[in-house]
Amino acid sequence: MAKLCNVGLIGQGFMGRTHSNAYLKVSKFFLDLPLEPVMHTVFGMKEEKPEVFARRWGWQQYATDWKKVVRDEAIDLVDIVTPNFMHMPPAMAALEAGKPVASEKPIAGTLADARAMVQAAKKAKAKTFVWYNYRRCPAVALAHQLVKAGKIGRIFHVRCIYLQDWGGPDTPLLWRFQKKLAGSGAHGDLNSHIVDLALWLVGPIAEVTGMMKTFVTERTLPGSEESDKVTVDDAAAFLARFANNALGTFEATRFATGRKNGLRFEINGSKGSIVFDLERLNELLFYDSADAQGRHGFRLIQATDASHPYIAAYWPRGHIIGYEHSFINTVVDLLGGIADGTPVHPTFADGFLTQKVLDAVAESAQSNAWVRI
């Protein structure tokens, strides 16, 4: 029987539901887990009614003081899903207690806070993890295998976009539009995902130049006719030079009308290319220049075969999986790393590197100049 791992979830909301679902389902699909997650305690502010969340999602206990959750000796893993400005305090407390800590992205509201978290993790020698869950889509993991095996050769171009449309002019002033709570807008929320994927798939970024734009500078307060200023970006785009001399283009926006969750990347190399679209997350397009003359073309790989990453635990070939399974797959790797003592990437140090890129883009947008990472 697997050893138990009591989880303390700090926060609720959208990410609280995805993480809860993952802890609920992981042992149903993956039968040989080294640790069995126990949904021990969830924290939520009193007005969020954490007792309702706990009952609905299967948490044994709830609390309205996150410090009590982190300090509880029964808690083995602290998982943070609060708004960005609140990531650092519980993370630092967990590290001080020597506990493994996982955090939603970006790991902190500022680069300075992210650096402090990395230093604290190094001092505590504690396990850290960042929930960049798109790494755990089987098709993306397959893309990583192909790149690392040299199947597309020397990389020349990296094109990444993340397009959404929920932040239009009629959207009220939610916390994501306030810098003090979110740290940044579309740049930190969306570009962080595609920067993480680019760093994982291609390697370090050497320098960037970018621009950021706030299209709607004032929004109405939720449930009110009063309004207040927007203090984050609505869209950001930047160019990048990778350390391996590849060229990169990145774009993120909440104003791409008609696009709901349009993350897409294309990588072109000397031997081939790969293309991924999150809204078709079971599929990977692969072009192999080694194909016979007259048979060149992008092949569609449906990443649902038992030979593909993570898939053997799920359904028969061709029976697709969904967004929620990327979180389940993430929990598998997280628990494995806690059990055997090996790093599970991305760590806080990896998350800090992503934030260095984001911070450099923001600096470039202010200076209208290239900025070295």
pLDDT 10s digits, 169-209: 999 999 999 999 999 999 999 999 999 999 999 999 999 99
What pLDDT sits at residue 49? Answer: 95
What pLDDT sits at residue 128? Answer: 98
* pLDDT mean across residues, the chain: 97
Give the pLDDT band of residue 2 (cuts 50, 70, 90): confident
The answer to whether 232 touches 142, Cβ cutoff 8 Å, is no
Give the pLDDT band of residue 125 (cuts 50, 70, 90): very high
Tell me what the mean pLDDT of segment 78-87 comes to.
95
pLDDT at 1 over 70: no
What pLDDT sits at residue 41? Answer: 98
What pLDDT sits at residue 223? Answer: 87
pLDDT at 31 over 90: yes
pLDDT 10s digits, 202-230: 999 999 999 999 999 999 999 888 999 99
CA distance 317 to 325: 16
Q: Domains in the chain, start-ordered, CATH in brackets?
A: 3-133 (3.40.50.720), 135-316+346-372 (3.30.360.10)
Strands (E), 84-146: 101-103, 128-130
Give the pLDDT band of residue 134 (cuts 50, 70, 90): very high
- Sequence-distant (6+) residues with CB within 8 A of 367 are none
pLDDT at 349 over 90: yes
Query: If DSSP codes are grouped into helix, strand and coil, which group holds residue 139?
Result: helix
- How far, in Å, are 113, 142, 168, 323 from residue 280 at the CA level? 35, 14, 24, 10
pLDDT 10s digits, 235-287: 999 999 999 999 999 999 999 999 999 999 999 999 999 999 999 999 999 99
Tell me what the mean pLDDT of segment 349-357 comes to.
98
Query: For strand 155-163 and strand 128-130, is the pairing parallel, antiparallel, or unpaired?
Result: unpaired
What is the DSSP code string of 126-192?
A: --EEE--GGGGSHHHHHHHHHHHTTTT-SEEEEEEEEE--TTSTTS---GGG-HHHHSSSHIIIIIH
Q: In this structure, what DSSP letter does residue 298 have?
A: P
